[in-house]
Amino acid sequence: MWVSGHQAAVLRSEDGGATWQHLTVPGAAADSLEFRDVFAVDADTAWLLAAGPGSRSRIYRTTNGGGSWALQFVNHDSSAFYDCFDFWDAMRGVALSDGVAGHLLIRRTSDGGAHWDLPPADSLPPAQKGEGGFAASGACVITLAGHFAWIGTGAADTARVLRSEDGGRTWQAAATPVAAGNFAGIAAVAFRDTLHGMVLGGKLGSPAEFSDNVAVTDDGGRSWRLAGRPGFSGAVYGAAVVPDRPGGVVAVGPRGLAHSGDDGTTWTTLDTLPYWSIGFASRRLGWAVGPAGRVTRIRLP
């Protein structure tokens, strides 16, 4: 199990989360890097995404369980800010940056991260003014089933989902009813299959407010409708589908942690501590990550 931290930290556990090993990435602390996303294919091979403006957006890879890290990608566009990434397998992945010059930057790799290429601009929907992702939980990009992918956006007039059915080569956009605007929109995407999914977020700048922050789809992301709100106030930062529990999802944010067993129609609050991200390994066992390196183990009934 791998967990990324917000301040140049990555944690790794080999015993189901009972103990954690702190791994260091050369140069990360000196350059004030903030790791916002991690993806592992096995106990040895994983990638880390550092989010930030200009060259602070980077991608690293380890092939020896975090013993050493190779720098694979550095963003040299001062206007770009990479938020999150995901992989279909050990070779193919996709990474999202905020919009630059009217276009969202969606890079693809087909060689395990050695190269991250931009598709032609005309294969991407035009970006709204200010539109981008949120580097909140590493869940604004989700891949599934070999060639499907979804991206949630915000910071614009409409919170949108971009959908790809060809491994990230082309994308189509759909509007959602999630609260949008400055520092609002979609922070997390969760799909249990290629048809049924959920986007979560809301007003990230209003922690005490309840807003329309969850929407669901049953047609693969072509259309979206509002679902129920988790019991905690503020925005949802991260979410994860619970394996082998149709309709099961857990959402986290700065004001708590909540579980739904019916695709977001109703929610049960499980905790009121702040959390940034969430992951599940089985139908009962998951982990949530919060401030100051806190990792909470979750066991559903």
Phi/psi for 258 (5° steps) reads -140, 155
Query: What is the distance between the alpha carbons of residues 91 and 147, in angstroms, rounded to a whole number?
Result: 12
Place of tokens 């975090």: 66
In sequence order, what DSSP letters do the residues of 154-195 get, joined into one string? BSSSS-EEEEESSTTSS-EEEE--S--BTTEEEEEEEESSSS
pTM of the model: 0.94
Chain centroid to CA 70:
22
C-alpha distances (whole Å) from 18 to each of 1, 6, 13, 140, 294 are 11, 21, 7, 28, 13
Per-residue pLDDT of the chain (301 residues; tens, 9 = 90+): 676 655 556 778 888 777 877 777 877 765 788 899 999 999 999 999 999 999 999 999 999 999 999 999 999 999 999 999 999 999 999 999 999 988 889 999 999 999 999 988 777 889 999 999 999 999 999 999 999 999 999 999 999 999 999 999 999 999 999 999 999 999 999 999 999 999 999 999 999 999 999 999 999 999 999 999 999 999 999 999 999 999 999 999 999 999 999 999 999 999 999 999 999 999 999 999 999 888 999 999 9
Helix H or strand E encompassing 58: strand 58-62
Residue 83: its H or E element: strand 82-87
Q: What is the maximum alpha-carbon separation in the chain?
A: 49
The answer for residues whose C-beta is within 8 angstroms of residue 67's C-beta and 6 or more apart is: none
| pLDDT for 15 | 80
One-letter amino acid for residue 187 of the chain: A
CA separation, residue 155 to residues 71, 113, 141, 185, 186 (Å) = 29, 28, 16, 6, 9
Residue 6 is predicted with a pLDDT of: 55
**DSSP-derived 3-state class of residue 123:** helix
The per-residue DSSP string of 91-121 comes to S-EEEEEEEETTEEEEEEESSTTS--BPPPG
Distance CA 216, CA 199 (A): 6
